């Protein structure tokens, strides 16, 4: 009886293996049909995305190599030339905008990263009212940048602004914040940091809650202090999350437009004129469409290069961490 049962089980296993083998041969056609179906359903969305994103980018790159003159019928290409790029690279305005944009991006992203990690660690350690504090923290991030810039413009107003009044308590002559280069840059950076630090904090908090408690316990057993445990246990685990936060913030900060446009219009002078503001002025104030397209295209190439370099460095770090983890497991 048991022999028959064993034989039946073996026959069933053989039949199952045959079915699996047949199933492995069949899915190729099934995968192709599913792929065709997927492309058929996503084609309308891809066409719309291409129309509103890819086509304007390609069109801007093409126009950047042309001398364009606006007419009643639209844009008229007079000649194809590299003069837009040669003029732009030799322009002091473009160089000043590039220096400001790069410096502004580095400073604001670094401050937001430090503050975001600190806030995330604080929220992660809270056991009461974490949800309420997180909701309050997201209020600045939920505001439209134009609205928050207008609010900060009221605060910085030289006549009735609350910040000007506060400085007036300690200084005989409070500074005109948006009318002086250094205070204008600082005030704009403060407004940006206030708005986008919650974004970094939420991303880092999502990574903190995924760190296993065993790592903290192992660090405590080894006698590591709070800072040592954070440096050697938490930060290595947060590298992928921090990389995502930094990548998104660099993209947003490098293309900053609405905040300086509302607060300072790129002034005083050109102190807060970013690359995006410079491109906007070339397009809509000077009506130099070729130059504006050249500024936009060059900015896009710079951002793309920075992102690719950053992703390459991040990938090398991840590979090193993975190799170190495998070595540690092998030694154990």
Residues 100 and 242 grouped into a single domain = yes
Q: Looking at per-residue confidence, does 208 or 151 come out higher?
A: 151
Instruction: State the pLDDT confidence band at 321, using cuts at 50, 70 and 90.
Output: low
Residues 6+ apart with CB under 8 A from 129: none
pLDDT 10s digits, 169-209: 888 888 888 988 999 999 999 999 999 999 999 999 888 88
Residue 161 forms part of a structural domain: yes
pLDDT 10s digits, 203-244: 998 888 887 777 766 776 776 677 777 777 778 878 888 888
Query: Which of 63, 82, 111 represents a domain boundary (last residue)?
Result: 63
Q: HSE on the CB side for 75, CA within 13 Å?
A: 16
Query: Average per-residue pLDDT in the chain?
Result: 82
Alpha-carbon span 189 to 111, nearest angstrom: 10
3-state class of 68 per DSSP? strand
Residues 57 and 139 grouped into a single domain = no
Residue 286: per-residue pLDDT: 85
Residue 17 has pLDDT above 50, yes or no: no
Residue 68 forms part of a structural domain: no
Alpha-carbon span 231 to 242, nearest angstrom: 14
Q: Any idea what the CATH number is for the domain that residue 202 is in?
A: 1.10.3720.10
Residues 41 and 133 grouped into a single domain = no
Instruction: State the pLDDT confidence band at 151, using cuts at 50, 70 and 90.
Output: very high
Instruction: State what percent of residues in the chain have pLDDT above 70.
Output: 85
Beta-sheet pairing, 74-80 with 66-71: antiparallel
Domain assignment of residue 160, given as a range: 91-331
Average pLDDT, stretch 80-96? 92
């Amino acid at each position: 009886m048991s022999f028959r049962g064993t034989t039946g089980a073996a026959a069933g296993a053989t039949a199952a293996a045959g079915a699996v083998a047949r199933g492995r041969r069949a899915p190729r056609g099934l995968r192709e049909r599913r792929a065709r179906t997927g492309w058929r359903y996503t084609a309308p969305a891809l066409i719309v995305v291409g129309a509103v994103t890819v086509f304007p980018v390609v069109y801007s790159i093409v126009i950047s190599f042309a001398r364009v003159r606006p007419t009643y019928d639209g844009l008229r290409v007079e000649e194809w030339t590299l003069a837009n790029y040669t003029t732009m690279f030799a322009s002091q305005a473009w160089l000043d905008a590039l220096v400001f944009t790069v410096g502004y991006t580095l400073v604001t992203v670094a401050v937001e990263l430090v503050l975001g990690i600190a806030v995330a660690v604080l929220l992660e350690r809270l056991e009461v009212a974490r949800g309420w504090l997180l909701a309050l923290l997201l209020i600045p991030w939920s505001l439209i940048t134009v609205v928050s810039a207008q609010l900060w413009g009221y605060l910085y107003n030289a006549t009735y602004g609350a910040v000007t009044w506060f400085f007036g308590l300690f200084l005989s002559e409070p500074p005109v914040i948006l009318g002086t280069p250094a205070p204008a840059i600082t005030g704009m950076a403060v407004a940006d940091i206030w708005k986008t630090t919650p974004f970094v904090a939420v991303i880092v908090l999502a990574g903190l809650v995924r760190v296993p408690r065993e790592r903290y316990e192992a660090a405590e057993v080894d006698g590591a202090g709070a800072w040592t445990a954070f440096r050697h246990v938490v930060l290595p685990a947060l590298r992928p999350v921090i990389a995502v936060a930094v990548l998104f913030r660099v993209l947003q900060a490098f293309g900053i437009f609405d905040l300086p446009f509302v607060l300072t219009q790129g002034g005083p002078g050109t102190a807060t004129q970013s690359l995006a503001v410079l491109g906007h002025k070339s397009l809509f104030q000077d009506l130099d469409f070729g130059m504006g397209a050249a500024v936009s295209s060059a900015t896009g190439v710079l951002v793309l290069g920075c992102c690719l370099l950053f992703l390459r460095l991040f990938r090398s770090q991840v590979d090193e961490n993975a190799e170190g983890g495998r070595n540690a497991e092998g030694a154990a």
